[in-house]
Amino acid sequence: MIGLIMIAAFAVYLLVTIVVVRFTIRWARRNGRGVKRWAVVAVFVMYNLVFWDLIPTYVLYKYYCTTKAGFWVYKTPEEWKNENPGVAETLNRAHSHSFQNSDGSIGMKLNERFTRLQKARTTTLLPVTLYDASIIDVKNNEVLVERISIGAGYPAGKGFIRFWTNINSCVPENNKLDAYTIAYRDLGGE
């Protein structure tokens, strides 16, 4: 049903666009103006009334995927264990729980020493979001593992109306982040 409504809305939009372009062409001919130039301006304006964010969103998404997205391991569990002798044996994963910070980030306490934190940073004007997931040593606030992924599209309320901006997220090394999460959680055992 929603699909039919969207097709009908697109058909009306297309019809209005055709009427506006034809009217502009007629006006340009009557007033001795450049017909092609004014037709292009009319199409450009009608296109941007609805799809103004399509091309900039794709460009910004691609730019962020190639320059910002990635997976970094700053310290492996073995390296951390070597730097902190005897501490791993005292850790207990039974204390793990989820939480949400006041800044909107969500986290999961893996044990007494490690937390997996996820933050979303959206761009100001376009619907492109950077998702930063990291494993942090809470004692000294050191980032041990970090993954930045990029997503595009409006939130659920507006998302189905402006569906053309929804792009599959580029999520580098998702399985590796999960593997490191488990490795840090299980450092101390039960």
Q: Which amino acid does the sequence have at 61?
A: Y
Residue 175: per-residue pLDDT: 87
Distance CA 150, CA 100 (A): 21
Residue given tokens 């997220």 in the structure block: 169
> Are 38 and 22 contacting, i.e. CB atoms less than 8 angstroms apart?
no
pLDDT tens over the chain, length 190 residues: 777 887 898 899 999 999 999 999 999 999 999 999 999 999 999 999 988 989 999 999 999 999 999 999 999 999 999 998 888 888 887 666 788 888 888 999 988 889 999 999 888 889 999 999 999 999 999 999 999 999 998 876 665 677 788 888 888 887 899 999 989 988 866 5
Written as six digits, the tokens of 12 are 């009306």
Residue 158: per-residue pLDDT: 61
φ, ψ for residue 66, nearest 5 deg:
-85, -25
Residue 159: per-residue pLDDT: 55
Residue 89: per-residue pLDDT: 84
Q: Which of 83, 79, 104, 89 is nearest to 180 (CA)?
A: 79
Distance CA 151, CA 120 (A): 10
Can you point out the beta strands (E) in 80-113? 97-100, 106-109
pTM, to two decimals: 0.78
As a whole number of Å, the CA-based R_g of the chain is 25
> Are 71 and 50 contacting, i.e. CB atoms less than 8 angstroms apart?
no
Residue 93: per-residue pLDDT: 73
